[in-house]
């Protein structure tokens, strides 16, 4: 989707609850929607995705103004939210639905995603191989309403979850206090 300077970006970074707040309220970000993509079942539910039978990953679809918040900045922010060396999920969340991926919407996004992944691998910031996959965008299904902007609706539980899952400590260890 392109509307003027507005484009879509789709990232799977483990639990989608933790992938909304870093992008939300950034300049040029119009919306961050939690949902499911990459699977074979139309309109999956949270319960179906968690059952690991649909092939979907929890993801966020971001509508952004590419002139205000370029795709390169989105990629940089994405990498800072995940453990890109974990092929089995993210932090306490295990399974395919919690694995990481960049879903590109055009050749330009693909090129930038591949370049950013290579740069991260070559940076030696992480000891292991960067296992985050880069795939073409597939149908995106918004998650149930109670998952949308969970960090705002249930801020206390969200903060406990982010800390308890190990994500918060990991981000601080590898990236410092940046978002």
Q: What is the chain's mean pLDDT, rounded?
A: 95
Percent of the chain with pLDDT over 90: 93
Q: Is 50 in the active site? A: no
Fold classification of 2-175 is 3.30.1060
Mean pLDDT score, 104-122:
98
Per-residue pLDDT for 179 more than 60?
no
Record the tokens describing residue 47, joined without a space: 């319960």
DSSP for residue 145: G
Catalytic residue among 7, 9, 11, 15: 15
Per-residue pLDDT for 2 more than 60?
no
Q: Residue 25's pLDDT is what?
A: 87
Q: How confident is the model at residue 178 (pLDDT cuts 50, 70, 90)?
A: low
Q: How confident is the model at residue 8 (pLDDT cuts 50, 70, 90)?
A: very high
Q: Residue 65's pLDDT is what?
A: 97
Per-residue pLDDT for 3 more than 90?
no
Cα 73 from Cα 52, distance rounded (Å): 31
Using one digit for the tens of pLDDT, what is the confidence trace for 71-95?
A: 999 999 999 999 999 999 999 999 9
Per-residue pLDDT for 29 more than 60?
yes
Length of the chain: 179
pTM of the model: 0.95
Number of neighbours of residue 4 by Cβ within 10 angstroms: 8
Mean pLDDT score, 134-158:
96
Cα 66 from Cα 72, distance rounded (Å): 9
Mean pLDDT score, 26-45:
97
Instruction: For residue 2, give the 3-state DSSP assignment.
Output: strand
């Amino acid at each position: 989707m392109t509307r003027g300077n507005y484009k879509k970006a789709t990232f799977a970074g483990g639990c989608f609850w933790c992938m909304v707040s870093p992008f939300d309220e950034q300049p040029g970000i119009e919306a961050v929607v939690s949902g499911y993509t990459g699977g074979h079942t139309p309109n999956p539910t949270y319960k179906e995705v968690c059952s690991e039978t649909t092939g979907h990953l929890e993801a966020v679809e971001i509508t952004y103004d590419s002139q205000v918040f370029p795709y390169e900045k989105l990629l940089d922010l994405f990498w800072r939210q995940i453990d890109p060396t974990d092929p089995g999920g993210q932090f306490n969340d295990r399974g395919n639905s919690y694995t990481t991926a960049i879903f590109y919407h055009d050749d330009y996004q693909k090129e930038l995603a591949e370049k950013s992944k290579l740069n991260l691998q070559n940076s030696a910031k992480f000891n292991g191989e960067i296992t985050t996959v880069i795939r073409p965008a597939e149908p995106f299904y918004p998650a149930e309403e109670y998952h949308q902007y969970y960090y705002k609706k249930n801020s206390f539980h969200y903060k406990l979850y982010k800390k308890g899952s190990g994500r918060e400590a990991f981000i601080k260890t590898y990236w410092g206090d940046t978002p």
